């Protein structure tokens, strides 16, 4: 059971400034003046790769709780519990990013926490990130089906589930991230998608259910815990 929530950010970085931006925003989580904030830190930061979907850009995913998220928003929008370090950071780093689009994610019970990913030594060279729009009422069923049908295939091909989520306040959306320890494993999964029985079954369900999907292939930030170090 994963009792956390996740803050997912799509960042419109200044082209060429993806790595400096990721390091800069990560630095906030090492600021000792903000130690009291309720935050587990980053699941991972990623930058887009020019292989699928729009680029350039950055994706940040932070592990949080509703209480911690609420505290952050109180600090941002009310004049109490101000987060001055965040305000200073925000205004100091405008040259690295132009804006963004965020979502709050609710994990499935089987979606791993940061601690569980670390315990399994999960890392990846490339990550497959998907936001899918489903019919009303389908997202929970979709994620249950993903757990039953796709996860066994991921195990078979040596890929790792990084997260599977519903999106708070957006009842048609789900977001999933799959990690590949190297590109060849992702290639093998894609190659098998029309021939492997389990993948065929999963893809048939997906094709009959998903109204729209935004796909990205992502590279991990080099300072992140999911980055594969030599």
Tell me the C-alpha distance between 214 and 130, whole Å.
Answer: 6
Smallest separation (angstroms) from another protein to the CB of 121: 30
Determine which residue in the list 31, 87, 148, 191 makes contact with another protein, applying CB under 8 A.
87
Is 187 among the residues that bind another protein (CB under 8 A)?
no
Smallest separation (angstroms) from another protein to the CB of 143: 12
Residues 215, 111, 160: CA angle, nearest 5 degrees: 65
Q: Is the peptide bond before 114 cis (omega within 30 degrees of 0)?
A: no
Applying CB under 8 A, the site for another protein has a residue count of: 33
Q: Cβ–Cβ contacts within 10 Å for residue 71, how many?
A: 18
Is 66 among the residues that bind another protein (CB under 8 A)?
yes
Q: Would you say 35 or 79 has its CB closer to another protein?
A: 79
Q: Would you say 31 or 191 has its CB closer to another protein?
A: 31
- Cα–Cα nearest to 159, from 200, 196, 190: 190
Q: What is the footprint of another protein within residues 155-184 (CB under 8 A)?
A: 168-172
Structure tokens at 79: 């004049």
Tell me the C-alpha distance between 220 and 223, whole Å.
Answer: 8
Q: What is the footprint of another protein within residues 88-147 (CB under 8 A)?
A: 90-91, 94, 99-104, 106, 133, 135-137
Is 39 among the residues that bind another protein (CB under 8 A)?
no
Tell me the C-alpha distance between 154 and 88, whole Å.
Answer: 42
Smallest separation (angstroms) from another protein to the CB of 73: 6
Sign (positive or negative) of CA dihedral 222, 223, 228, 230 = positive
Determine which residue in the list 27, 31, 54, 76 makes contact with another protein, applying CB under 8 A.
76
- Token match 């965040």: residue? 86
> Which positions lie near another protein, rule CB under 8 A?
5, 7, 66-67, 69-70, 72-74, 76-79, 87, 90-91, 94, 99-104, 106, 133, 135-137, 168-172
């Amino acid at each position: 059971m994963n009792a956390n929530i996740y803050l997912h950010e799509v960042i419109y970085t200044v082209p060429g400034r993806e790595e400096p931006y990721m390091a800069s925003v990560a630095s906030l989580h090492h600021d000792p003046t903000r130690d009291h904030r309720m935050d587990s830190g980053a699941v991972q930061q990623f930058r887009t790769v020019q292989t699928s979907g729009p680029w350039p850009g950055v994706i940040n995913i932070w592990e949080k709780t509703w209480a911690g998220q609420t505290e952050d928003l109180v600090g941002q929008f009310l004049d109490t519990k101000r987060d001055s370090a965040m305000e200073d950071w925000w205004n100091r780093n405008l040259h690295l990013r132009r804006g963004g689009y965020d979502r709050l994610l609710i994990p499935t019970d089987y979606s791993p926490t940061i601690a569980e990913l670390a315990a399994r030594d999960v890392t990846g060279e490339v990550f497959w990130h998907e936001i899918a729009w489903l019919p009303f009422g389908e997202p929970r069923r979709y994620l249950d089906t993903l757990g039953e049908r796709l996860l066994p295939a991921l195990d078979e091909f040596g890929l790792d589930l990084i997260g599977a989520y519903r999106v708070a306040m957006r009842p048609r959306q789900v977001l999933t991230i799959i990690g590949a320890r190297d590109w060849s494993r992702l290639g093998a999964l894609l190659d098998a998608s029309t021939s492997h029985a389990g993948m065929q079954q999963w893809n048939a369900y997906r094709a009959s259910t998903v109204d729209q999907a935004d796909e990205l292939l992502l590279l991990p930030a080099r300072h992140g815990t999911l980055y594969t170090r030599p």
